[in-house]
A = this chain, B = another copy of it.
Amino acid sequence: MSSYLRYDFANPDNPANDHLIFSKGHASPLLYSMYKAAGAITEDEFMTYRRFGSRLQGHPTPVLPWVDVATGSLGQGLPIAVGVALAGKYLDKLPYHVWVLCGDSEMAEGSIWEAFDKASHYKLNNLIAILDMNRLGQRGETELGWNSAAYVERATAFGWHTIAIDGHNLDEIVRAFDEAVQPREQPVLIVAKTMKGRGVSFLENKENWHGKALNEEQAQQAISELGGQRTLTITVAKPEAARTAPPPSGEPLALPTYEVGSKTATRQAYGDALKALGSARIDVVALDAEVSNSTYAEFFGHAFPERYFEMFIAEQQMIAAAVGLQVRQYVPFVSTFAAFLTRAYDFIRMAAISQANIRLCGSHAGVSIGEDGPSQMALEDLAMMRAVHGSTVLYPCDANQTAQLVAAMADCSGISFLRSTREKTPVLYSSDEQFKIGGSTVVRQSDADQVTVVAAGITVHEALKACAQLKADGIAVRLIDAYSVKPIDRQTLHQAAQATQGRLVVVEDHWPEGGLGAAVLEAFTVDGAGDGAMNLKLLHLAVQGMPGSGTPQELMDAAGISAAHIADAVRRLVR
């Protein structure tokens, strides 16, 4: 660490710093010991490990300024490091290294091999991973044990430069690090054969010690067997001074506009708006998982190829790369079919713990995609994304609304998600109208309203058709476009519920659980101020039954969420 890592502990935001990521987050005692040895934390703080309120949590999180990202869900540190290394090589163009400590158990995670693949594809010669091959997982021997050759063969096949060493031999370690930092066009894996508990007679290479603390007597014996030394101080070299990151400015933002009544898919508006953002802000970057011609991220990719990263079909690595890019202050937008973001849910959940600011766009939402069938339909994405700590969930219904919300996402902290629609839908709103995170639009209202319909995205268009049918029957409906699913516009919902005697129909292209319906219901619980008693008669329309193929209209009819079903629901409530 003292000779190879370049890190300014007094200035963790120094852009020239190396990065050190413990992909095996459960080795936190080692990481914190290194911080202590480097003088970054005190002995007193060191002893607060795993205590309530301590920064030294069971697994590293960025509550510590030197920790880039949370780890502890295995197989995530290396893919995130790929993102940091992409920033270093292609955007910052700074000579820092990204060092990663991997566990051997996590080599069974597919995400690790997505990282191996992408690191070599992008020739990340600034990435050095050290595999702590100690043979013992939590419950016994790992799949490959001490089979260095197997790890070397796999990493080599995936295009890495590999070095196998005895991880307890200082000379070999030094030689490996020297070799690792030599110029080449490949990432480097050091396979270090180690023994868990090395040097402590009752621990060394023994099972059933994973995650267990020593008692006082055992601790004394261990320290004694290890030579008795209890403190160690080292000086970590600081990096050469570097230019700071480029300022995030460009042309004035000129969002695309669409004419009311024309038809544009919101997924296309996402692509248009992302490209406009790219012109306005040079810190915006985009990633896609080999569907950029469907999500329309390709508009950005063609305009700004140097800031576009094709992740091919590797959604976990895509989210991880976005997390890594935002470590270096870039503003990543990530897109794929919303259904396939489920592939990366663990990464999204962990990104929230990492305090990461990333923006996701999931296209092809709901049964309204039509013929491709259920495997391609996102029907659980609203529930999934709402249940991410501090997340923002947006579901626009027209192109102008989409453009404004995409722009808002650029400044949104935490995990934000925009759900876009495959089909072309009519532009409802003028480009002057304002849409903000946490807002909603009252599309139809009158003093005679008998029922409130709450819709979002594709169902706004169905609800409008229902309103027209109901008007012919003399039933006035208040229609709310709840494009901000989280945070939801509690005040507007309460006003509407009051105006329509608590009669609400909520309609969504999503399974019944956890989506827009739940968001609306949750808005009627008692809040901190003690308000929120509800006297509601709420009828919820959501996708019933497993869909198959068909036209969007056939599938929305079959799911029970089309205009006719909305009109029926309204009639039931006023009957």
Q: Which residues of A does B touch, CB under 8 Å?
A: 25, 50-54, 56-59, 61, 63, 70-75, 105-106, 108-114, 117, 121, 137-139, 142-143, 150, 153-154, 156-158, 290-294, 298, 312-317, 339-340, 342-343, 345-346, 349-350, 352-353, 371-376, 379-380, 383-384, 386-390, 486, 502, 511-515, 517-519, 521-522, 524-526, 530, 532-540, 546, 548-551, 554-555, 558, 572-573
Contacts and interface: CB of A to CB of B under 8 A. Distances in A.
Given A153-B157, A384-B345, A340 B518 contact: no
By Cβ-Cβ distance, the 9 closest A-B pairs, closest first, are A110-B110, A72-B375, A52-B550, A514-B514, A383-B387, A521-B521, A518-B518, A113-B113, A380-B387
A537 B548 contact: no
Contacts of A71: 375
7 contacts: A56-B549, A59-B375, A73-B375, A108-B290, A110-B114, A350-B375, A518-B518
Given A513-B518, A522-B518, A313 B75 contact: yes
A290 B513 contact: no
A532 B573 CA distance: 11
A139 B291 CA distance: 6
Contact of A375 (B25, B109, B143): B25
B373 A52 contact: no
Given A105-B290, A138-B294, 4 more contacts: A52-B558, A57-B549, A105-B313, A143-B312
A496 B512 CA distance: 24
How many copies of this protein are present in the complex? 2
Nearest to A109: B313
Given A52-B550, A534-B535, A138 B290 contact: yes
B117 A143 contact: yes
A112 B110 contact: yes
A390 B70 CA distance: 34
Contacts of A61: 373-375, 548
Contact of A389 (B59, B150, B379): B379
B572 A54 contact: no
Contacts of A109: 110, 114, 313-314, 343
Q: Tell which of A371, A387, A515 has the most Cβ of chain B within 10 Å.
A: A387
Contacts of A25: 375
Contacts of A157: 150, 153-154, 156-157
A108 to B, nearest CB: 4
A573 B525 CA distance: 12
Nearest to A369: B58
Given A139-B291, A376-B59, A386-B383, A525 B538 contact: yes
**Which of A105, A373, A524, A536 has the most CB atoms of chain B within a 10 A radius of its CB?**
A373
Contacts of A154: 154, 157-158
B375 A70 contact: yes
Contacts of A58: 371-373, 376, 549
B372 A340 contact: no
| From A70, A515, A549, residue with most partner B Cβ within 10 Å | A549
Contacts of A340: 73, 346
A109 to B, nearest CB: 5
B540 A525 contact: yes
Given A157-B154, A537-B526, A59 B110 contact: no
